[in-house]
Amino acid sequence: MMQKKTTAPITWRVLAGLLLALVLIFSLTGCGPDPEAEAKASLDKTLSAMKSADIKKISKIGGKNSFYDDADKIFGSKDAAQQIMKAMLGHFDYKILSSKKVDDNNVTLRVKMTNVDMNKVVPKWYKDLMSYAAANPAVASDEKAIMAKTFDILKTDVDQAAKDKTFTSKTVTIKMKKVKDKWKFNDADDQILDAMLGGFQNAVKNL
């Protein structure tokens, strides 16, 4: 019971925050004559912001600061939000492989996404966190302390995996649609987010 209470709320809070970030940033104004080039440039700008792992930059890419302003609610604090972004996206990379115009308002792109292999990181992160909680029972009831330690352990394990070159890549299809002069995801699914996060969502489900 203690294990579930310690990790599950944080895990899903992280995922919810990143999903919110995606919703906000994939809304970029397009004004060029070539829909394919326009959508590709917009996607490139967005993924570049994600790669920076900077919550201010990610928030501003869509012309809004909502994600940054709401960071306290999503992650507990803005510092925590920045920490988790660095942990989850600090080693993210991507390559736009192809783009295909469907019509003037729809473009399909194939993108190769690379990140630390979370299927290797998450089990170790979980084990390390549980060991810490068992050794520090007083801290287990302190949500802020556990939250801070969770981020700290995750970043340590992620950075070690990157140092060990434990990466994974996945190619995904991204459909972008132009609505009122803005390019947005069309029917985005969890596979895109999971690819961006190195299989984090799948790894958590397998705990």
Residues pairing with 167 in the sheet = 116
> What's the CATH code of the domain at 189?
3.10.450
H helices of the chain, where? 2-25, 35-52, 55-60, 66-69, 71-75, 78-89, 118-135, 143-163, 190-196, 200-205
- The answer as to whether 23 is a domain residue is no
Give the residue numbers spanning the domain of 131: 34-206
Work out the pLDDT band at 97, boundaries 50, 70, 90. Answer: very high
Provide the pLDDT for residue 5: 44
- The answer as to whether 59 is a domain residue is yes
Mean predicted lDDT score pLDDT of the chain:
80
pTM of the predicted structure, to 2 decimals: 0.82
State pLDDT tens for residues 118-162: 999 999 998 998 898 888 888 767 777 777 788 889 889 999 999
- The answer as to whether 38 is a domain residue is yes
Question: Which of the pair, 157 or 204, is modelled with greater confidence?
Answer: 157
Domains in the chain, number = 1
- The answer as to whether 12 is a domain residue is no
State pLDDT tens for residues 171-187: 999 999 888 888 887 77
What 3-state class would DSSP assign to 130? helix
* 60 CB neighbour count, 10 Å cutoff: 16
Q: What is the mean pLDDT of residues 69-92?
A: 76
